[in-house]
Amino acid sequence: MRLCYILCFIWPHVFGTRFVRIDSRNSGGPLKHFWRSTGFCPSKPHAKAYKYDTGSDMNQNLAYIGALPFTGIQQVRIHWLLDLVQVTKQHPLQYDFHWLDQLIDKLYKNGLKPGFELMGSLSNFFTDFENKTQVVFWRDLVKATAERYIKKYGIDYVRRWNFETWNEPDCHDFDAVNMTVKGFLNYYDASSEGLRAADKRLIFGGPGDGCFYKKHHKGHKKYAIGLLDHVVHGTNLFTGNRETRIDFISWHLKGDGMANRILKLEKRLSEEIYTKYPSLRSKPFYNDEGDPLVGWSKPRLWRADVTYAALVVKVIALHQQRKFLKHINFTLLSNDNAFLSYYPHQFTQRTLLARFQMNNTKPPHVQFVHKPVYSAMMLLAYLGDRKLYVSITKHHVHNISTHDFGGIGSIHYPVASAVSDSFQVCLLLYNATDPGPGELEERNIKQDGESVEVKIFIDPPVSQSRDLYMIIFKINNSYGNPFMLWKKMGKPSYPTKEQFHAMRQQEGPNVIDKSAVKPGIITVKLQSFVAPALLLVHICSKAPHPPGQVSAVQVYKVTFGQVLVVWSDKFIGTKCILRYEVELSKSDTESQYRRINQQDSVVNSFMFVPSGNNSTLVTGYYRVRAVDYWNRPGQYSKPFYYPS
């Protein structure tokens, strides 16, 4: 007999209901989390990139990105990395890696890895890659760089990096380097052989191109096609063999404010490549700047609210649904949104976080607020590792391919040795309107207020507990949208402590229900699901044991009397987390620890801003533990003393 659990949210009789159905018995193939990447470019001049890449603003930014739960983002793809290296002596060549070391170490400590673009002139030391001496020097530099980080962090970490060619070569942004097509191919061979000399397991690809569809470039892709022709038909400069490797093919295909345009460009380009170079068909395909709109700094109101968040999810879902991608080894989709926003566009640029440059304090400092798109990356991280078929109907007509409304379903089966893990079913729904290249507010967009009925049939395997718990998260422009509150405040340039606290209370996603459920049919009804919106339903079977131990607690000073606490969920062993409890003690005495984060959250960070202006209020030992859906606490982390 099927049991039915019904969760109703003011359910009137509404014509035009969308019916969503998933069944835990109807699983498909693997669900690859191909979207866990972001990126940024330092501001000019690139010779001073260290100021942007390693400053306190970026340190906080990377801490927040690394604090997304369940490795919501794992790669940060960064331009001009080798401009962080300085030539200190020319005979023989010696390099200073100080600034690059700082950045790589910050990524590592935050559980991130670099997308390592081999680009930079080292303060104009490299000027011409048709000069064979410089080409050899470049090979040796790449080898030395790779060997340095293999020695420091181990090959298991570095072999997961995506080493990539100079960004968008057909856009001709080479700074002071005279880079002809021939020079670019020399540079490619030098980079490839330098990495191979360090370790044959290192990954290298390209061309990372992105200008062929821009009108002012008139379809040129001489460098990109030259590279593909070289790896298929050409001769390696160093080996003399026709065996120049390319481990992945990367391109930058953006949407001009329309989700489906990204997929159309991917389809067009991949067909062109595979027709001309059929031997490349099996290579992983990366769209590693697959943003909905080109131009990170363009202020758009829709980038501030849930429109952008829902659009990112829609693009990912469309990639799951499109049949043509079965003929592409599609491996990575990256949103280039790890930039630092600036006044007066704190929320409206293409970023994960809103940055407030607090120049009214001595010394000045920065504060960050989560944007809805940050919360979207968190919701995506809940998805499991196998697909569940999602059926969507309307008026009894099958409607799975609707443009604005859709979803991703998933299932997760634990391995026997993972005692804190359990059977899970997840459904992520989106309602997302394409904003187009301009401002959404300038258009008359029809708001779709149709109701939604979700039915999930869940039947845990025999080895798993039938004690189930469900949590439902929702984000729309009323829930989880700090930008709306900031506007109501009058858009203060320097928000007060109280205003920052209020905005952080609005950081999503919002939990709209949490309750025990039973196997069988679980029904969730929503009165309306108006675009833009996201909804996540996460159902867990009770694991044999509570969560594992939280690890890697760090505390960053933000300003006088304010700190950012971050930690890692690497060893907790489950996604069924109800909350994290952050505690502080002056003496690391058990009886003196007190919880300091009163609002439940599943993000691996907490901004601690005690009342008062005494810096000693943030001094002491910090520890964190995870609590699962059944209120079972895991082991506390090792304490971290601040200031250390």
Q: Give a yes or no: residue 365 inside a domain.
A: no
User: Sorting pLDDT into bands at 50, 70 and 90, what band is 450?
Assistant: confident
Hey, what are 636's tokens?
Answer: 């506390």
Question: Are the C-beta atoms of 345 and 299 separated by less than 8 Å?
Answer: yes
Q: What is the mean pLDDT of residues 251-259?
A: 94
Among candidate residues 311, 305, 322, the one with its CA nearest the CA of residue 258: 311
- For 452-491, b/e burial (b = at least 16 CB within 10 A) is bbbbbbbebeeebeebbbbbbbbbbbebbbbbbebeeeee
Q: What is the mean pLDDT of residues 572-578?
A: 98
How many domains is the chain partitioned into structurally?
Answer: 3
Range of the domain at 577: 551-642
d(CA 102, CA 78): 14
Q: What is the mean pLDDT of residues 94-114?
A: 98
Residue pLDDT, tens place only, 363-416: 999 999 999 999 999 999 999 999 999 999 986 666 544 579 999 999 999 998
d(CA 330, CA 327): 9
CATH number at residue 317: 3.20.20.80
- How many percent of the chain have pLDDT more than 70? 93
- Which among 541, 571, 595 is the end of a domain? 541
Q: 100 Cβ partners below 8 Å, 6+ apart?
A: 81, 82, 84, 85, 145
d(CA 94, CA 619): 42
Q: 365 Cβ partners below 8 Å, 6+ apart?
A: 56, 358, 558, 559
Q: Are residues 11 and 45 in the same domain?
A: no
Q: Give a yes or no: residue 256 inside a domain.
A: yes
Q: Give a yes or no: residue 348 inside a domain.
A: no
Q: Look at residue 275 and tell me whether its pLDDT is greater than 90.
A: yes
Residue pLDDT, tens place only, 486-497: 999 999 999 999
Q: In this predicted structure, what is the pLDDT of residue 442?
A: 44
DSSP letter for 279, please: G
Q: Are residues 21 and 84 in the same domain?
A: no
Q: Look at residue 444 and tell me whether its pLDDT is greater than 90.
A: no
Q: Give a yes or no: residue 42 inside a domain.
A: yes
Q: What is the mean pLDDT of residues 604-613?
A: 93
Q: Are residues 564 and 532 in the same domain?
A: no
Question: Are the C-beta atoms of 227 and 185 separated by less than 8 Å?
Answer: yes
Q: Are residues 495 and 397 in the same domain?
A: yes
Tally: H helices and E strands in the chain:
12, 32
Among 182-191, 506-515, 580-589, the range of highest mean pLDDT = 182-191
Q: Are residues 304 and 415 in the same domain?
A: no
Q: Look at residue 485 and tell me whether its pLDDT is greater than 60.
A: yes
Q: Give a yes or no: residue 372 inside a domain.
A: no
Cα–Cα distance list, 498 to 502, 503, 556, 560 (Å): 6, 9, 20, 16
Is residue 188 packed enough to be buried (19+ CB in 10 Å), middle (13-18) or exposed (0-12)? buried
d(CA 194, CA 198): 6
Q: What value does the mean pLDDT of the chain take? A: 93
Q: What is the mean pLDDT of residues 278-283?
A: 96
Q: What is the mean pLDDT of residues 114-130?
A: 96
Q: Give a yes or no: residue 207 inside a domain.
A: yes
d(CA 301, CA 296): 13
Among candidate residues 105, 635, 35, the one with its CA nearest the CA of residue 373: 35
Hey, what are 364's tokens?
Answer: 């000045």
Question: Are the C-beta atoms of 548 and 567 separated by less than 8 Å?
Answer: no
Q: What is the mean pLDDT of residues 249-264?
A: 95
Q: Write out the catalytic residue numbers.
A: 168
DSSP letter for 283, please: S
Q: In this predicted structure, what is the pLDDT of residue 327?
A: 85
Q: Are residues 555 and 517 in the same domain?
A: no
Q: Are residues 117 and 243 in the same domain?
A: yes
Q: In this predicted structure, what is the pLDDT of residue 212?
A: 63
Amino acid sitting at position 634: G
Q: 184-198, 212-226, 256-270, 624-638: which range is least confident on average?
A: 212-226
d(CA 333, CA 318): 12
β-pairing, 551-559 with 594-595?
unpaired
User: Sorting pLDDT into bands at 50, 70 and 90, what band is 458?
Assistant: very high
- Which among 541, 559, 581 is the end of a domain? 541
- Which among 324, 341, 358 is the end of a domain? 341
Q: Give a yes or no: residue 349 inside a domain.
A: no
Amino acid sitting at position 559: T
Q: Are residues 473 and 499 in the same domain?
A: yes
Q: Give a yes or no: residue 254 inside a domain.
A: yes
Q: 122-136, 292-306, 322-336, 547-561: which range is least confident on average?
A: 322-336
Q: What is the mean pLDDT of residues 49-55?
A: 97
CATH number at residue 521: 2.60.40.1500
Residue pLDDT, tens place only, 550-562: 999 999 999 999 9
Q: 638 Cβ partners below 8 Å, 6+ apart?
A: 551, 553, 623
Q: In this predicted structure, what is the pLDDT of residue 625?
A: 99
Element (H, E) at 28: strand 27-30
DSSP letter for 75, please: E
Cite the DSSP H helix spans in 495-546: 497-505
Q: Are residues 74 and 135 in the same domain?
A: yes
Report the 10 Å Cβ neighbour count for 194: 25
Q: Are residues 105 and 212 in the same domain?
A: yes
Cite the DSSP H helix spans in 256-335: 259-276, 306-321
User: Sorting pLDDT into bands at 50, 70 and 90, what band is 421?
Assistant: very high
Q: Are residues 291 and 421 in the same domain?
A: no
Q: In this predicted structure, what is the pLDDT of residue 440?
A: 58
CATH number at residue 606: 2.60.40.10
Question: Are the C-beta atoms of 637 and 553 separated by less than 8 Å?
Answer: yes
Q: Are residues 314 and 421 in the same domain?
A: no
Q: In this predicted structure, what is the pLDDT of residue 527?
A: 87
Beta-strand (E) ranges in 573-613? 577-585, 594-595, 605-608
Cα–Cα distance list, 546 to 329, 337, 549, 631 (Å): 38, 35, 10, 9
Q: 13-27, 77-91, 173-187, 332-346: which range is least confident on average?
A: 13-27
